[in-house]
Structure 1
Amino acid sequence: MTSVKALAGTGISYSFLKTLKATELTALIKSGFAAFDQPISQGFVAPKINRNVDLYRIFYTIDINHPQFTEPQPQVLSGLLMIPGLLAEDTQEERTLPLAIYNHGTLFNRQLPPSKVVFEEDQEWAMGSYETLINIGLFANNGYAMIASDYVGCGNNFSFLHEAYGVKEPTSEAIIGLLEASRKLMPMLGVNPAQLFLNGWSQGGMNTQWAVQQLETLQIPVTTAAVSSPFNELQETAKWWLSQGSNNPVSPAEPAPWLSLCVGILISSYESWYDLNGLFNALIKDEVIPNGKDSEGNVIRNDAKVTYREILNRFAQYGDSAVKFDSSFSNYSWAVNIIRDGFKFETTIPGFTPADMLINGALETEIGIQFLQKLESISPRYWTYGTPLKAWYGLSDEALPPDLVAPGMKDKGGPLVTLVPVNGASHRQTFLNSLLASPLNPKGGTDQNLIDWFASFRKASPAVPTLVAASDHLIVKSEDFGVLAVLLNVEQQQGERAMHLQIVRTRQDGRSELIGTLGGTTASANQLQSLGSARVLLQVGDQLKFKLLSTNGITSDTFIIAIQKREQDSGFNVNLKNTGTNQAGSLQFSILPQPNIFKAIDVVAAPQSEVNNGLLQLSQGQKLNLEITTDCAFINRLGFVQLNTDPLTGLVVNTVGKENIAISSTRFKDEIDTLLDPGFQISTGGRQISSNLDWIVGQDGIYAPVLITPQGNVFCGAAGGIGSEQMRMLGQNIIGFEDLIGQYSDYDWNDVVFEIKSIS
């Protein structure tokens, strides 16, 4: 099994899946392509891949708003990240890559989304989504990194939430959330994303339109986007599927029988996500499906008397596993054949068309009308794009008639939308033609594929994000998508008490997140002063803001800030004066753009974005060099404890053979001597100036510093830990402790200060 690594404090974790060699990837695509193309063999040729690819599964957290929740709840979603390997002519420095988002089509097995395109099962590798695999190969061939969301209710989230099929809000949030997570992770993996491209097929074409609209709203630059067989007129499409008098007048194809499965998923999803209680039973017949014949002419008998409502409800809830692995369906050979032929797109079973499953007159009922109104209200066509967008649609598409694509996109999409009608193309042929532009001839369009079209927008040197000053904050701007790392370095601190700031990233939608802390210690009698620095990663459109952190941990805006452009470089000097009572002082710091590629010391600091969170993310065998500075009367002890996460009590020490010990508990204090990591402990103080110590980490994990005073007080340097208020984050991997409590404290935070100087 693959191991999962966490970027603690970010809500992101990831696992390296596999490096697929170019020859191996070519073979996988060829075999998968043959199965995908077999029913419609039109001479398409599977591409040969010339690059190895590294595949990662990303887990990320977003807040989900669902009727079952009283307020938005955090949910862990999953997605795929592909990073192409180097060619002989490439150099190691050429790791600034365009980033493509691929949005997949309808899945009949929600447990095989993009992040399971190759997955480990019984120590063997097997293929998941063919369409994702083809996109991986083509984008890798052309030097793109690629991400693909599993969507809500698929992949990692399969067991927790109903699939959000055709549901706008959580789908868009899942795609944007993966982009957010990827822009944090990729620099940690040595890759800098620049220029953003989107592609999607079928359901993914609709999702791509929604994602582009959301990105435009957030003012995140998108270079261009492509969609093939995109659902656009949702209400009219649903009516056509159900043969209920759509306004679409002409279609060369009849609705495919496999659309019955799609309709079942759609109706069930809308009941769940849009709180349309009773919708599924109001629309789907509770009648036995008649016997029929499979695609080979064999009689399929419905001896188990399966009803439309029964099989579609199970399928909507569980996907194909409902019939493959559910023991109560083990004798339903008829149902298994539906799923088998549904995957092949060859279903010929009479009595199982979308129109057959609908209760007569159901769409004219109150709840049926609500369903149609919701479809209409979220149709992607209500948008004028500021992004160049090209749409391929098949003139013989059995899932999406051309008149349900072209008019809406042409009339509403604006001048940047280009339509490519593909003569004689089915649903799958349209997808292949958009990627390969062969062998079908577009009718009145172009034979250029989307990879070549994207290439026409590629830049040899994408615009580098820059910082622009406003009155009290800075903004990251660029014509292209990208990320920008900046170094904040304290130059001077004055005042009776040490000042500390929260570094805040505010996104275009107004949501803010803490991404670091900055400050220093007060100057001592020995003129000893520790000043912090922090390196943070921002995205185009982000605002960099600050909050003042008081001695009791309360934040405020009681300060005056002046931001001045530096003449010698592209950075800024900032002077911040505290105007609050009893804490007058000032903090001067510089802000300077940095290379985006992060190093091991940045990974160690990943958990430190939270207020007063001195956690370190360490790996077994790492050698850390710590510089320890003290200016206090006491001899204190400094050590570290390894932590885990308990779902009930938060951060805990996981003791072997014993109950976990919460870091906020008195037991943690009482047993601290047995909990400290034996690899690092030091007694320090007594007006020492500084000392240096190496530490070789014994185990992978998250570690928190602990200070033990001669009075027996225990201060744990992790948010929520016992005595955590006695610690301050001065910056990235720079942590200061105050060893006196309450009225006896001078809040200089210089009694014990440690900084990680190097990692090997």
Structure 2
Amino acid sequence: MNIGVSLLLSPTLWLFGLSTVTPGVMAGSISNPWKGQPARPATYHLEAETLVTAQRLDSAVALSFPLFDTSSILPGFDATTQGASNDVVLRHIVTTMTTISGTGETVAVTGLLAVPVSANNTIPVVSWQHGTILSFDQVPSHMVKLSDPNYNVTDDADSLETLFNIQRFAANRFAVIAADYIGKGPLREGRGEAYVVKGATTQTCGALNTLWLHQALRSNGIDIEATAVASPFSDLDQAWRYWSGKVIFPLPKGLESYPPLAAWIAPCMIVALGSYELYYNLPGLMETAVRPQYRELAERNWQDYNISAIDPSNSPNSTNLLADSFWKGCTNDHISALQRQLIRNAAIDWEYDSPIRFYYGLADEAVHLAMVTRTVAAGGRYAAGIQVARASHRATFLAGLYGSGASLDGFDNVLSWFQSKA
């Protein structure tokens, strides 16, 4: 459900062990950089490079900007002050280093590497974790199509978050790495997604609002200079109760209304149910958790992600998707197991030892500010919450990248902040 999260990694990590990028197809091995862990050689290759000009990036962002800023909380994209300063080289990364927690499979993982053409051997690395994508192929590595002048980037709305990160970071002298996640991308091979499944997503550098990945890296001795999070739902159990209407938060001070829950939350919950059934070995979870009238629809949606095929007159919302027994006493072992796992996967009890910023919108239709401030308060002295007035879910993400102190409660945007740390 989160849609924008990044970590500025220490230069000692570089590009998962890559200190140089050689043109053309490259193959080799990656050594595990985590302290206290045995080296685990893994095969990988970088596919042929694709060049995207700064002008092309700016043009694509200009077209896409209004799709995220629907309430016009920002002045708009200005290429003279927010434009790309470098052309960018994009390349697919393919590695077979991942053994999936819970299933034991060893899988090939795909992702994107974006590097400014002016890069030398010492550039800072931003690890970008994309948010919820209700599609199998609109993933970061899909952005290599940008080099095709006939490719209309706005047709791939779920890839626009990565576009913004490429234009903002890679075109301004950062390397950007972004995983496609298990169950997505060109090597999906029919595998189900591991949506908000902690072990599997952390292994592929994709994680619940980046907090899981931050915790995993720090626990293994990897330095992180700074972390930025947009629209985080850190407590899955609390989030599901909010989306189901079991928890109602008070109206934020100073606001006269708050937006209703987004229609796309129900499909996200369906994908989560399918993921937990698959990766936590809970057969039949979908069938028992979903109301009878929506079970067939839910099973079909989990298989094809085709939201457009859902009849609006008979579509569930987040408050009526789950069976009546879901929040009552134990009526099914798998439902109880799901709820225990949601609680275990919470990311609200971590004390951060490097700067982390939580950007949250005051008109977010999926994440109430009460869901964010609790995590910020528990995070310690390095955690800061940044509220974005009038911002929807998407606009919060956009403001974090392109906003200024006027829209970010006096704070600077993530690019400026990362530049000060790099």
Give your verdict on TM over 0.5: yes
Q: 1:21: how far off?
A: 0.8
Residue 168, structure 1, aligned to residue 184, structure 2? no
The match for 2:164 among 134, 144, 157 is 134
State the alpha-carbon separation in 1 of the partners of residues 411 and 101 from structure 2: 43
Deviation per CA, 1:605-652: give whole Å up to 9, x if none. xxxxxxxxxxxxxxxxxxxxxxxxxxxxxxxxxxxxxxxxxxxxxxxx
Mapping for residues 49-60 of structure 1, pairs under 5 Å: 49-60=84-95
Q: 1:120: how far off?
A: 8.7
Deviation per CA, 1:249-279: give whole Å up to 9, x if none. 4462321111111111111111111112221
Assess, with a 3 A threshold, how the Cα gap between structure 1 residues 123 and 24 changes in structure 2: closer, same or farther: closer
State the alpha-carbon separation in 2 of the partners of residues 43 and 420 from structure 1: 16
State the alpha-carbon separation in 2 of the partners of residues 110 and 400 from structure 1: 24
User: Is the 8 Å Cα contact of residues 363 and 369 (structure 1) preserved in structure 2?
Assistant: no
Q: Which residue of 2 aligns with 1:225?
A: 227
Q: Which residue of 2 aligns with 1:246?
A: 247
User: Is the 8 Å Cα contact of residues 184 and 193 (structure 2) preserved in structure 1?
Assistant: yes
The percent of aligned pairs where both chains have the same amino acid is 28
Code of the residue aligned with 2:305 in structure 1: it is: G
User: Is the 8 Å Cα contact of residues 79 and 149 (structure 1) preserved in structure 2?
Assistant: yes
Q: Which residue of 1 aligns with 2:322?
A: 358
Deviation per CA, 1:42-101: give whole Å up to 9, x if none. 34423422210000000011332354x4xx232001000001122xxxxx8x44100001
Assess, with a 3 A threshold, how the Cα gap between structure 1 residues 154 and 388 changes in structure 2: closer, same or farther: same
Code of the residue aligned with 1:437 in structure 2: it is: G
Q: Secondary structure at the match of 1:40?
A: coil
Give the structure with the higher percent helix: 2
Q: Secondary structure at the match of 1:317?
A: helix
Code of the residue aligned with 1:403 in structure 2: it is: A
The match for 1:6 among 16, 27, 33 is 27
User: Is the 8 Å Cα contact of residues 5 and 13 (structure 1) preserved in structure 2?
Assistant: yes
User: Is the 8 Å Cα contact of residues 250 and 403 (structure 1) preserved in structure 2?
Assistant: no
State the alpha-carbon separation in 1 of the partners of residues 189 and 296 from structure 2: 20
State the alpha-carbon separation in 2 of the partners of residues 108 and 316 from structure 1: 10
Q: Which residue of 1 aligns with 2:133?
A: 107
Q: 1:4: how far off?
A: 5.7
Q: Secondary structure at the match of 1:175?
A: coil
Code of the residue aligned with 1:116 in structure 2: it is: H
Q: Which residue of 1 aligns with 2:177?
A: 147
Q: Which residue of 2 aligns with 1:16?
A: 48
Q: 1:163: how far off?
A: 0.5
Deviation per CA, 1:280-300: give whole Å up to 9, x if none. 11121231xxxxxxxxxxxxx
Assess, with a 3 A threshold, how the Cα gap between structure 1 residues 260 and 52 changes in structure 2: closer, same or farther: same
The match for 2:382 among 401, 405, 416 is 416
Higher-Rg member (1/2): 1
The match for 2:398 among 407, 411, 432 is 432
State the alpha-carbon separation in 2 of the partners of residues 235 and 140 from structure 1: 35
State the alpha-carbon separation in 1 of the partners of residues 148 and 404 from structure 2: 38
Mapping for residues 75-90 of structure 1, pairs under 5 Å: 75-86=107-118
Q: Over aligned residues, Cα RMSD in angstroms?
A: 2.6
Code of the residue aligned with 2:300 in structure 1: it is: R
Residue 36, structure 1, aligned to residue 68, structure 2? yes
Assess, with a 3 A threshold, how the Cα gap between structure 1 residues 50 and 261 changes in structure 2: closer, same or farther: same
State the alpha-carbon separation in 1 of the partners of residues 415 and 193 from structure 2: 30
Q: Which residue of 1 aligns with 2:302?
A: 316
Q: Secondary structure at the match of 2:189?
A: coil
Mapping for residues 346-745 of structure 1, pairs under 5 Å: 352-364=316-328, 365-366=331-332, 367-411=334-378, 413-438=379-404, 441-442=407-408, 445-458=409-422
Q: 1:122: how far off?
A: 10
State the alpha-carbon separation in 2 of the partners of residues 33 and 350 from structure 1: 32
State the alpha-carbon separation in 2 of the partners of residues 122 and 319 from structure 1: 27
The count of corresponding residues between Structure 1 and Structure 2 is: 372
Q: Secondary structure at the match of 1:257?
A: coil
Q: Which residue of 1 aligns with 2:273?
A: 267
Q: 1:32: how far off?
A: 2.4
Task: Please report the TM-score for the alignment, with normalisation by the length of structure 2.
Answer: 0.81
Q: 1:17: how far off?
A: 4.6
State the alpha-carbon separation in 2 of the partners of residues 162 and 231 from structure 1: 22
User: Is 218-227 or 5-14 further displaced after alignment?
Assistant: 5-14
Q: 1:362: how far off?
A: 2.0
Q: 1:10: how far off?
A: 4.2
State the alpha-carbon separation in 1 of the partners of residues 276 and 291 from structure 2: 17
Assess, with a 3 A threshold, how the Cα gap between structure 1 residues 264 and 33 changes in structure 2: closer, same or farther: same
Q: Which residue of 2 aligns with 1:550?
A: none
State the alpha-carbon separation in 1 of the partners of residues 121 and 406 from structure 2: 36
State the alpha-carbon separation in 2 of the partners of residues 158 and 120 from structure 1: 21
Q: Which residue of 2 aligns with 1:276?
A: 282
User: Is the 8 Å Cα contact of residues 62 and 174 (structure 1) preserved in structure 2?
Assistant: no
User: Is the 8 Å Cα contact of residues 52 and 146 (structure 2) preserved in structure 1?
Assistant: no
Code of the residue aligned with 2:343 in structure 1: it is: E
Q: 1:388: how far off?
A: 1.0
State the alpha-carbon separation in 1 of the partners of residues 140 and 98 from structure 2: 21
Assess, with a 3 A threshold, how the Cα gap between structure 1 residues 160 and 387 changes in structure 2: closer, same or farther: farther
Assess, with a 3 A threshold, how the Cα gap between structure 1 residues 79 and 309 changes in structure 2: closer, same or farther: same
State the alpha-carbon separation in 2 of the partners of residues 250 and 368 from structure 1: 31
Code of the residue aligned with 2:369 in structure 1: it is: P
Assess, with a 3 A threshold, how the Cα gap between structure 1 residues 446 and 350 changes in structure 2: closer, same or farther: farther
Q: 1:231: how far off?
A: 1.4
Q: Secondary structure at the match of 1:435?
A: helix
State the alpha-carbon separation in 1 of the partners of residues 85 and 100 from structure 2: 43
User: Is the 8 Å Cα contact of residues 172 and 207 (structure 1) preserved in structure 2?
Assistant: no
Assess, with a 3 A threshold, how the Cα gap between structure 1 residues 62 and 45 changes in structure 2: closer, same or farther: same
Give the structure with the higher percent strand: 1
State the alpha-carbon separation in 1 of the partners of residues 146 and 171 from structure 2: 25
User: Is 278-287 or 366-375 further displaced after alignment?
Assistant: 366-375
State the alpha-carbon separation in 1 of the partners of residues 147 and 415 from structure 2: 33
State the alpha-carbon separation in 2 of the partners of residues 313 and 221 from structure 1: 41
Q: 1:447: how far off?
A: 3.4
User: Is the 8 Å Cα contact of residues 44 and 439 (structure 1) preserved in structure 2?
Assistant: no
The match for 1:212 among 214, 233, 237 is 214
Assess, with a 3 A threshold, how the Cα gap between structure 1 residues 22 and 122 changes in structure 2: closer, same or farther: closer
Deviation per CA, 1:411-469: give whole Å up to 9, x if none. 2x111111112222211111111111248634xx42311111112222xxxxxxxxxxx
Relative contact order, higher structure (CA 8 A, sep 6+) = 2
